[in-house]
Amino acid sequence: MYRFRRLRRDERIRSMMQETRLHPKDFIYPIFVIEGENIKNQVESMPGIYQYSIDRLSEILEQVKEADIGGIMLFGIPLHKDPQGSQAYAEDGITQRAVRFIKENCPEIYIVVDICLCEYTSHGHCGMVHGEEILNDETLPYLVKMAVSLAEAGADMAAPSDMMDGRVAAIREGLDLAGFTQMPIMAYSAKFASAYYGPFRDAAHSAPGFGDRKSYQMDFANGQEAIREIAADIEEGADIVMVKPALAYLDVLKEAALTFDVPLAVYNVSGEYAMVKAAAAKGWIDEKRIVMENLTAMKRAGAKVIITYHALDAVRWI
Ligand code: PBG
Ligand code: ZN
């Protein structure tokens, strides 16, 4: 009889046989930077996650350095919003200033910047708006401006999350023309219109003022379309492609891993984090074990990079 249990007998042989191992460098930790002074606001629906003003940022940057993770992903929250999202590509915009601050004070930290307008537009949509319509081609030049201005500030990688068609090609061309041929693009390629983003929209003040994002983000019923979206972004020049959210979409991630020979990222989003934290706070689940199980499953399904709010905790639990 074949006995599977021979290789499960004790911890020594189990750990020798372990197929998937998490490493601190797998993780990217999202950070919210808010305009103002002396601010450290806990995000109510995301216990343990804060909005920081730049003068308080060092506190979290020290923890990031200590954890020695892959990098951080920055989300700026501006004071001033307008229909064109002009603070997204202003030289002294909140995210640009945060990038410069980090480059100056912690040059060893790898900085990914989210490229999207929704935190900066008064209507809260990810693109330019005409009436109730979210415009595609009219939005692209603004995304390019945002990516270039953040590259100029010193960002290491651009991660467009807006889901406009053709944005990867436009941003690649814009970065190249500006001399940033070496800056990688991590495309949010298969990003689904998801209720799991709820807590993030509180954290980043980015809920749409009218309607929803279903005319640009994907229908969660569609798996084949996700593969076409990923193929298109690779074709347009994406260096890393992403599936988002994570847990309800591991089938998409796995299929992408079997289909494409490029590094894959997965975004373990705010709502996924909130559910774990809420149940753990009630004592209904064991937070540490649940988090490690979830993150390991993401890597097992094919993720090279995991963007997660659990990153700093997970490093201590590896
Ligand atoms: C901006 C953006 C969002 C997230 C990442 N970038 C929100 C959205 O699309 O509404 C979600 C991240 C999370 O929920 O943790 N477009
Ligand atoms: Zn957006």
Q: Is 116 in the pocket of ligand 1 (CB under 6 A)?
A: yes
Predicted TM-score (pTM) of the model is 0.97
161 close to ligand 1 (CB < 6 Angstrom): yes
pLDDT score, position 83: 97
Q: Is 126 in the pocket of ligand 1 (CB under 6 A)?
A: yes
pLDDT of the residue at 260: 98
Residues 6+ apart with CB under 8 A from 122: 81, 82, 83, 209
What confidence score (pLDDT) does residue 258 get? 98
CB 270 less than 6 A from any atom of ligand 1 = yes
Atom of ligand 1 nearest to the CA of 196: 14
pLDDT in tens, 84-105: 999 999 999 999 999 999 999 9
Going from the C-alpha of 82 to that of each of 35, 88, 119, 197, 204, the distances in angstroms are 16, 10, 10, 22, 16
Index of the ligand 1 atom closest to the CA of residue 114? 6
Q: Which two tokens stand for residue 155?
A: 């960002």
Question: How close is the Cα of 190 to the center of ligand 2, in Å?
Answer: 14
Name residue, tokens 């209904």: 284
Q: pLDDT digits over 179-203, tens only?
A: 999 999 999 999 999 999 999 998 9
Average pLDDT over residues 253-271: 98
Task: Summarize the confidence of residues 4-20 as an average pLDDT.
Answer: 98
Q: Whose CA is nearest to atom 6 of ligand 1?
A: 161
> Computed from CA positions of residues 204, 99, 111, 63, in that sequence, does the dihedral angle turn out positive or negative?
negative
Burial (CB count within 10 angstroms: exposed 0-12, middle 13-18, buried 19+), residue 126: buried
**Ligand 1 pocket check for 272: Cβ under 6 Å:** no
Closest atom of ligand 1 relative to the 119 alpha carbon = 1
DSSP β-bridge partners for residue 82 = 121
Per-residue pLDDT reduced to its tens digit, 166-175:
999 999 999 9
Residue 161 CA to ligand 2 center (angstroms) comes to 6
| pLDDT bucket at 156, cuts 50 / 70 / 90 | very high
Chain-centre distance for alpha carbon 139: 20
| pLDDT bracket for residue 204 (50, 70, 90) | very high
Q: Where are the alpha helices (DSSP H) in 37-120?
A: 58-67, 94-105
Per-residue model confidence as pLDDT tens digits over 29-56? 999 999 999 999 999 999 999 999 999 9
Active site members: 191, 244
Band (125; pLDDT cuts 50, 70, 90):
very high
**Distance from residue 79's CA to the centre of ligand 1 (Å):** 19
pLDDT category, 108, cuts 50, 70, 90?
Answer: very high
Q: Could you tell me which of 241, 164, 245, 146 has the C-alpha nearest to residue 200?
A: 245
Mean residue pLDDT across the chain: 98
Band of pLDDT at residue 312, cut at 50, 70 and 90: very high
Residues 6+ apart with CB under 8 A from 5: none
Q: What is the pLDDT of residues 206-233, one digit of tens each?
A: 999 999 999 999 999 999 999 999 999 9
User: What pLDDT does 62 receive?
Assistant: 98
pLDDT number for residue 287: 98
